[in-house]
Amino acid sequence: MTQQTWFITGSSRGFGRALAEAALAAGDQVVATARKPEQLDDLVRKYGDQVLPVALDVTDRPAAVAALDAAVARFGRLDVVVNNAGYANVAPVETMSEEDFRRQFDTNFWGVYNVSTAALPVLKAQGAGTVVQFSSIGGRVGGTPGLGSYQAAKFAVDGFTRVLAAETAPLGIRYLVVEPSGFATDWAGASMRIADIPAEYDPTVGSLVRNFDGMGVAAGDPARAAEILVRVAKREELPSHLLLGANAVEMAQEYSRGRLAEAAKWEAVSVSADFGRAYPVELPVGQA
């Protein structure tokens, strides 16, 4: 339970803010980044030199490198790098503007890429460090109408992190992908823009928006989740993925059971594609 130094993106609100507060309350040091670092002034007043606020737009790679350099210059090392910054706008894939789709992807994936790769030289030199990537349960199960860019980016973050973990396995760097379900943050509030939804997409994307409106307070407590992550980061052994929230667990288990059942149903067809296997084989019973 030694003191750790955290680097957290998107620290002004939501999960990033809760995590910064939990780490500081645990006696750790925090480099808290935000587009507007003045939003972190209250943390500085409360924790003094224990926290370093840094301006950072994660889509700006040179700024990410500079922020990490400032972190090391101040605290001497980095123990936990958290890629939390992200947001979602809602629209059908067909009608969402390409600019909006790309802008979301720039933050939700390329921001993770920028910070992760900028941190690697520091973590390699130390021979130790943990990278925490915030995904979502949607980054595992997908298929949420209206969230095409957001969920595509979260799938990309997961794949990217799996490769990083394999490449850097001998170098002492650890990775944790966090997959929350609904939490009481402003993810579906002020930070989200909902586009006009064409009538033909009302049963799918429109239904999602109406669910947002009727959702009330989400079940997940960001403060509890943050405290859990601070405790987990201090463990010698990490899970590769950490589901947060009962709904995340239920959705992940249902999704996995469905994929296993589908793979088993189509197994004979799948293996018949290899040389030396029986071919052709009957397709599974069902619709032609």
For 242: left if phi > 0, alpha if psi spans -120 to 50, otherwise beta; the answer is: beta
Confirm if 114 and 64 have CB atoms less than 8 A apart.
Answer: yes
Indicate which residue of 113, 154, 175, 181 is catalytic: 154
Catalytic residue among 11, 12, 116, 135: 135
Dihedral sign for Cα atoms in the order 243, 244, 246, 248: negative
- Here the tokens at position 188 are 């579906």
Tokens of 288: 């032609």
What are the φ and ψ backbone dihedral angles of 183, each rounded to 5 degrees? Answer: -125, 155
Region class of 188: left (phi > 0), else alpha (psi between -120 and 50), else beta: alpha
Q: Which of 260, 250, 245, 230 is nearest to 20 (CA)?
A: 230
From the list 11, 12, 113, 150, the catalytic residue is 150
- Is the CB of residue 119 less than 8 Å from the CB of residue 78? yes
What span, in angstroms and rounded, lies between the C-alpha atoms of 21 and 39? 13
In the beta sheet, which residues pair with residue 220? Answer: 183
Q: Is 36 a catalytic residue?
A: no
Number of H helices, E strands in the chain: 11, 7
In degrees, to the nearest 5, what angle opens at C-alpha 107 toward C-alphas 124 and 170? 20
Examine the residue annotation and report whether 255 is marked as an active-site residue of this protein: no
Rounded distance between C-alpha atoms, residue 159 and residue 171, angstroms: 19
Q: Is 87 a catalytic residue?
A: no
Residues that are catalytic: 135, 150, 154
